[in-house]
Structure 1
Amino acid sequence: MSTTVTVDLDQRIVAALQLNGRASWKQVAAAVGATESTVARRGQQLLDSGRVRVTGLLDHLRCGLGISLQVRLRSRPGAATAVATALAALPATRFVTVVAGSADVCAEFVVPDHREVTAVLVEGLPRPDDIVETETMVVVRKFSASEEWDPGLLDAAAVALLRPGAAAPDHREWHEPERLTAQEFAIAELLAADGRASYSQLAAAVGVSDSTVARRVESLLRRGCLRFRALFDTRLLGLDVEFLQWFTVEPAALERAGAQLAALASTRYVSATTGRFDLCLHGVLPGYGDLYHYMTDVVGALPGVRAADLTLQARTLKQARVRVDGPTEERR
């Protein structure tokens, strides 16, 4: 009995950290309905064990730091893991996963601009002899990002407590970049390594007062430059199937289809892209038995979809620039 209760509480703590990675243990306790001492102990164990990590992310589009490329790769038989491992070691990759389906490896690259695509994907790919084919799509619009995902384990009151007055970030305005100061970049680097670092820890590292750090962080959040994300295996929440789905959509229906997908609890990320596919989606479901109904009921209800290609994530090596299959990668 105690094991079941502990697992359930852990799931609720993880869900709370996904909603607000910097929430205090007092806030988390109020949201999950447990004592602060218990939540602090269990939550810290999750963090110390590495099962959950919190990282601060600069929005590279909004901050003018680069553009995203969604890349699908096919490899020689048996070489997918080696290719993915080599890709995960590149500073330019933000996300890398081995998949089952029409591709073998999928990755997200961040490059300064579209002129760098050739340098990265032609000259910079590791293990070129193991790669049979690559397909590159440029992200031109995000409908939702992984840090915005609500796993749906907590009720509306808990969500409101953890995300008070939260509004969905406006992903349309990335073409008008914000200009960050050297001090803001320094703070962001520290939060990338530890998204739950206290203001006093950040202030000591940067050499300014706690209040100055607090103002800088709040400014970055308000401007949509900085977001916090919890990194964890979704199986911790009882969600056993992670997948990437690629859609070909009629141009007139693209906005409606993207917005409809972004509103789903199963969607962690969805963006509009150039190339053969018009939408790229990262999704999660409880089990394999849910896939058929997802493909028929959810995908079947989307406007303007001409084709849909689903690939199952078999092993994810990198998320949000963090190596999740080994030691943390040093950030740029």
Structure 2
Amino acid sequence: MPDTDAVSTRALDPLSLRIVGALQVDGRASWRKIAEALGEPVRTVARRGAALLEDRTVQVVGLPNTDPTHIVRVRCRPGMVASVAERLAARPETVFVYAVGQGPEVVVEVMLDYADLAPFVLEDLPTLDGVEEVRTASALEYYRTVAEWSPGLLADQELRALGGTNLAPTGHQPGLHLDAVDRALVDALVADGRTPLQAVAALLDCSDATARRRIEQLTTRGVLRIRAVVEPALVGLPVETLVWIRVHPSRAPELGRALVASPLVRYCAFLAGDDQLLVDVTTADLDGLRTLLADHYWGAGADRVTATPLLRAYKRGGVLVPQD
């Protein structure tokens, strides 16, 4: 899983925002490529970008896609949410950990093989002090993950210069086998998605061209996604909400694909559970949330829509979020 050192939460200036937007499109793009796409001096972009990475305002990490993912809702005793969330965030199998406003509850995405899911849910979680109830729903399909999220920080021509944002989310691939070389490469990019090509080649004892081809094969196959992790508030979207949608399963794919037409939707997954869609939305203010929820797409095929504020993120994309 990605490096668990914390990311920063300081305010961003306009150029830094655009650099973050570029890293969201292509986390491994060179500073020269980003500078040319943005029409800015290479030295300025390289200096600013390096500072953003060094202080972890943005962190580029790889997230493996080798196991199924599941959404776990953990109801806690009053006053125990922070304690439970921090312990779950410290676990390597958790991808995100959110405290939400619907009762004392923590919502967690975990990446676990089915053989490991039962002991995690039935044995590990109930022994955590403060846990009262655990509910689990497996992810069946993704319409967007944060690896594909682009909140509109760049102009269309800048997006095109960086390769566009038309990547489709890739679900878990059953029976996937990685050899020792691929495993070493995945581990290196999970720790740092911008690991230099020369360092990757040295690790694998191969040429730069072979290392580049290996990386391209892993990302094209969907085995690994390189993502830029940044707090939504830093890009002008401080109001974050989890929306649970109950709909007939046959209508979930159409509704899910319609929802991700909005750049305010960071994440949308089809679940095997009481609610068929989980959607993470970010808006500039409550008026923006009201407008988004009132959009006809939400109500057209939904039997029930439940929105709950995301009060605090403890982990995003496998990266710890500071609690200062």
Report the TM-score, using the length of structure 2 for normalisation: 0.90
* 1:63 paired residue number: none
- Tell me: CA distance 1:262–1:72, structure 2 relative to 1, closer, same or farther (3 Å): same
* 1:139 paired residue number: 139
* 2:278 paired residue number: 280
Q: Within 2, Cα distance between the matches of 1:186 and 1:67?
A: 21
SS in 1 for 2:300: coil
Q: Within 1, Cα distance between the matches of 2:95 and 2:249?
A: 28
Deviation at 1:205, TM superposition (A): 2.5
Matched, 1:9 2:15: yes
Q: Within 1, Cα distance between the matches of 2:79 and 2:297?
A: 31
1:40-90, CA deviations, whole angstroms, 9 ceiling, x for partnerless residues?
A: 111111111111100012222xxxxx2111011221111100010111122
Q: Is the 8 A contact 1:138 1:274 kept in 2?
A: yes
* 2:24 paired residue number: 18
Amino acid at match of 1:219: Q
1:178-218, CA deviations, whole angstroms, 9 ceiling, x for partnerless residues?
A: 43221011011111111111110112233322222111111
1:210-256, CA deviations, whole angstroms, 9 ceiling, x for partnerless residues?
A: 22211111111222222110011112211111222111012332111
Amino acid at match of 1:315: R
SS in 2 for 1:142: strand
* 1:325 paired residue number: 322
Q: Within 1, Cα distance between the matches of 2:303 and 2:30?
A: 46
Structure 1 residues not aligned, in runs of 5+: 1-5, 61-65, 327-332
- After superposition, residues 1-332 of structure 1 pair within 5 angstroms as 7-60=13-66, 66-102=67-103, 104-113=105-114, 115-125=115-125, 128-163=128-163, 167-169=166-168, 171=170, 174-297=172-295, 300=298, 302-325=299-322
Q: Within 1, Cα distance between the matches of 2:147 and 2:228?
A: 7
Structure 2 residues not aligned, in runs of 5+: 1-11
SS in 2 for 1:183: helix
Deviation at 1:299, TM superposition (A): 5.2
- Tell me: CA distance 1:103–1:262, structure 2 relative to 1, closer, same or farther (3 Å): farther
SS in 2 for 1:14: helix
Deviation at 1:112, TM superposition (A): 1.0
Deviation at 1:96, TM superposition (A): 0.7
Deviation at 1:141, TM superposition (A): 1.0
Q: Within 1, Cα distance between the matches of 2:243 and 2:190?
A: 28
- Tell me: CA distance 1:319–1:254, structure 2 relative to 1, closer, same or farther (3 Å): same
1:289-323, CA deviations, whole angstroms, 9 ceiling, x for partnerless residues?
A: 212112212554x4320111222222211122222
- Tell me: CA distance 1:118–1:47, structure 2 relative to 1, closer, same or farther (3 Å): same
1:242-293, CA deviations, whole angstroms, 9 ceiling, x for partnerless residues?
A: 2221110123321110111122111111111111110111221112221211
- Tell me: CA distance 1:95–1:246, structure 2 relative to 1, closer, same or farther (3 Å): same
SS in 2 for 1:146: coil
Q: Within 2, Cα distance between the matches of 1:294 and 1:75?
A: 30
SS in 1 for 2:137: strand
Deviation at 1:167, TM superposition (A): 4.4
Q: Within 2, Cα distance between the matches of 1:150 and 1:135?
A: 30
Q: Within 1, Cα distance between the matches of 2:303 and 2:111?
A: 28
1:85-128, CA deviations, whole angstroms, 9 ceiling, x for partnerless residues?
A: 11112222121111112552110111111x43321112111753
Amino acid at match of 1:169: A
Q: Within 1, Cα distance between the matches of 2:163 and 2:241?
A: 27
* 1:3 paired residue number: none
Report the TM-score, using the length of structure 1 for normalisation: 0.88
